[in-house]
């Protein structure tokens, strides 16, 4: 069996790997490290969780032992699609590079330029960046890329999803052609293959089987729901509260706006909850993640992009508030639980409009997922109206929110000013302001009978604040699209049209 010492790594690196407690390289490490040390280009097809980060960090550390950095001329460059991934790679350099004296600079959005400038001035051996922020630095004329010997493009398929490929092409043009390129992607759609063909010269292709199956230790269930967000939120609350084994959970939404809504709703209901959201500045995100990792908050609402690649070893539950549109995202999401042979549970809320996405997931993982309490045909009729007086399945979010969701999702013609509207003024949401302080539990009509034994609620804990003002607004004004290393920005209001704009004036 191959061991780390067979791979050609330096003594300093080997000793740090031993201290990290690793003895056997993972397949991507065994396949990529030896050719990387020979200065070959690598095409690595592997996703997070396979040990892919160390497969480029360890050979880079070994190669960097010769030579030193000059001011404003980084020696190596790693491109990551999100701030979190970039920060995690930096942590890996600290862990495996503890016997080296290397300067590592992390250039990500949401952090002040000045601090980053100072690091560049000192000379960076390793530059870890999101593409937009790197280009911003280059345009400020403070960075010379001609000394870059190794370029790493990580999570290339995610870069494609996020619209970063033109930025990457621009960056690649700034770096000498003679560089070594290490290119990683979880999947190889044709666009990524084309990009790899352009960027790589005679690469060593290392493919570790793409996991299109989910761990057998994870219990997966579909949960039937109606499609309105307030109905889904009620179903989710019931589900969380019924989980006796729930230690902690990540709740996935498809869009960052829904992350914000769900976070607010769960806070109001007294759950111990945080959110990973694209509009949070970096230090808030790091704090949020740390609070989740050390158990100060129990539930984390996140989007795929914000949560991508996060190394959170021990999550007992995953809830898909939305069925992922891309079936592979289901595999990524579910991969957050049941790690290292532990047991885990994953629940996916499915409404009628989601069935085609649920079918695609079952096709991808090649197995039927059982329904928790009967399929969609067993669902009671939806609640017709906010004020019909009929009891709602699973309760509602206090008095607020229901109509707002209806209005947002409804694709039928909007009421026009001057015409009669069926939306009543008392349906106007009053909760449009952001949550800024500790969330108080609301009194829900179902509270008495659904009080959880152990799951979800810790209302006496201080709620972290996931939506502080971004301290980087100056930069964002000019660099709005670029500095978003969190996903596409909606145009105008996107789907999130405030409800008051949809209400007709009095006839
Ligand atoms: P990654 O795919 O880089 O996100 O790594 C996933 C996890 O695997 C991280 O927690 C690493 O610390 C861990 N890891 C990396 N290499 C090894 C190894 N050779 N043996 C055991 N765990 C590893």
In this predicted structure, what is the pLDDT of residue 347? 96
For 262-287, what is each residue's pLDDT tens digit? Answer: 999 999 999 999 998 766 776 787 78
Q: Which DSSP category does 280 fall into? A: S
**Ligand 1 within 6 A of CB of 52:** yes
In this predicted structure, what is the pLDDT of residue 342? 67
Residue with CA at minimum distance from ligand 1 atom 23: 51
Per the CB < 8 A criterion, the answer to whether 419 and 265 are in contact is no
**Ligand 1 within 6 A of CB of 22:** yes
Residue with CA at minimum distance from ligand 1 atom 22: 22
Per the CB < 8 A criterion, the answer to whether 218 and 345 are in contact is yes
**Ligand 1 within 6 A of CB of 48:** yes
In this predicted structure, what is the pLDDT of residue 361? 92
**Ligand 1 within 6 A of CB of 284:** no
Containing 169, the helix (H) or strand (E) segment is helix 165-174
What are the residues whose beta carbons fall under 8 Å from the beta carbon of 124, sequence distance 6 or more?
A: 69, 74, 75, 103, 104, 105
**Ligand 1 within 6 A of CB of 51:** yes
In this predicted structure, what is the pLDDT of residue 340? 57
**Ligand 1 within 6 A of CB of 187:** no
What are the residues whose beta carbons fall under 8 Å from the beta carbon of 120, sequence distance 6 or more?
A: 71, 72, 74, 105, 127, 137, 142, 143
* Ligand 1 geometric centre to CA of 210 (Å): 16
Residue with CA at minimum distance from ligand 1 atom 16: 51
Q: Which of 237, 347, 252, 244 is nearest to 300 (CA)?
A: 252
Per the CB < 8 A criterion, the answer to whether 206 and 184 are in contact is no
Please compute, for residue 438, the number of CA atoms within 13 A of its CA located in the half-sphere on the CB side.
7
Q: Which atom of ligand 1 is nearest to the CA of 24?
A: 19
Q: Which atom of ligand 1 is nearest to the CA of 29?
A: 19
In this predicted structure, what is the pLDDT of residue 247? 92
pTM of the model: 0.58
In this predicted structure, what is the pLDDT of residue 215? 60
In this predicted structure, what is the pLDDT of residue 429? 30
For 211-247, what is each residue's pLDDT tens digit? Answer: 555 666 788 999 999 999 999 999 999 999 999 889 9
**Ligand 1 within 6 A of CB of 311:** yes
In this predicted structure, what is the pLDDT of residue 277? 74
Residue with CA at minimum distance from ligand 1 atom 8: 51
SS3 string, 14-32, reads HHHHHHCCCCCCCHHHHHH
- Average pLDDT over all residues of the chain: 77
Low-confidence ranges of the chain (pLDDT < 70): 209-216, 278-279, 282, 305-314, 339-342, 383-507
**Ligand 1 within 6 A of CB of 16:** no
Phi-psi map region of 490: left, alpha, beta (phi>0 left; psi -120 to 50 alpha)? beta
Q: Which domains does the chain have, with CATH numbers?
A: 4-207 (3.40.50.300), 218-409 (3.40.50.300), 427-449+461-507 (no CATH)
């Amino acid at each position: 069996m191959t061991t780390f010492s067979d791979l050609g790594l330096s003594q300093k690196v080997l000793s740090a790997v031993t201290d990290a407690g690793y003895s056997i390289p993972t397949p991507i490490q065994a396949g990529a490290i030896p050719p990387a040390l020979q200065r070959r280009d690598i095409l690595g097809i592997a996703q997070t969780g396979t040990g892919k980060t160390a497969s480029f960090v360890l050979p880079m550390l070994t190669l960097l032992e010769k030579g030193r950095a000059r001011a404003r001329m980084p020696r190596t460059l790693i491109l990551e699609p999100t701030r979190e991934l970039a920060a995690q790679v930096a942590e890996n350099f600290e862990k495996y590079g503890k016997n080296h004296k290397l300067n590592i600079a992390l250039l990500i959005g949401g952090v002040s330029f000045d601090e980053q400038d100072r690091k560049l001035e000192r000379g960076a051996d390793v530059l870890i960046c999101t593409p937009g922020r790197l280009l911003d630095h280059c345009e400020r004329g403070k960075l010379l890329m001609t000394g870059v010997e190794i370029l790493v493009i990580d999570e290339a398929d995610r870069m494609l999803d996020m619209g970063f490929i033109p930025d990457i092409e621009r960056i690649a043009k700034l770096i000498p052609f003679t560089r070594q390129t290490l290119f990683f992607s979880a999947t190889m759609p044709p666009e990524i293959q084309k990009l790899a063909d352009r960027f790589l010269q005679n690469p060593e292709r290392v493919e570790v089987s793409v996991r299109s199956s989910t761990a057998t230790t994870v219990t997966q269930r579909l949960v039937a729901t109606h499609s309105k967000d307030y109905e889904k939120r009620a179903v989710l609350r019931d589900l969380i509260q019924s989980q006796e084994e729930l230690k902690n959970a990540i709740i996935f939404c498809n869009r960052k706006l829904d992350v914000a809504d769900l976070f607010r709703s769960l806070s109001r209901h007294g759950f111990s909850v945080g959110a990973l959201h694209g509009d949070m500045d970096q230090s808030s995100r790091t704090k949020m993640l740390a609070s989740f990792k050390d158990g100060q908050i129990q539930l984390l609402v996140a989007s795929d992009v914000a949560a991508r690649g996060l190394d959170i070893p021990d999550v007992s539950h995953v809830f898909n508030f939305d069925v992922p549109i891309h079936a592979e995202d289901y595999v990524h999401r579910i991969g957050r639980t049941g790690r290292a042979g532990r047991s885990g549970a994953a629940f996916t809320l499915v409404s009628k409009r989601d069935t085609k996405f649920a079918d695609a997931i079952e096709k991808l993982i090649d197995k039927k997922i059982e329904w928790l309490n009967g399929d969609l045909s067993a669902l009671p009729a939806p609640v017709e109206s906010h004020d019909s007086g009929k009891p709602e399945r699973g309760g509602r979010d206090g008095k607020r929110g229901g109509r707002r969701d209806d209005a947002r999702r409804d694709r039928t013609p909007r009421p026009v000013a001057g015409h009669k509207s069926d939306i009543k003024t008392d349906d106007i949401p009053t909760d449009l302001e952001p949550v800024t302080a500790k969330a108080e539990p609301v009194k829900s009509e179902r509270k008495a009978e659904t009080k959880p034994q152990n799951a979800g609620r810790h209302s006496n804990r201080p709620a972290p604040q996931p939506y502080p003002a971004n301290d980087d607004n100056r930069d964002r004004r000019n660099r709005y699209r670029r500095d978003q290393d969190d996903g596409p920005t909606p145009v105008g209001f996107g789907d999130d049209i405030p409800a008051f704009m949809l209400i007709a004036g009095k006839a």
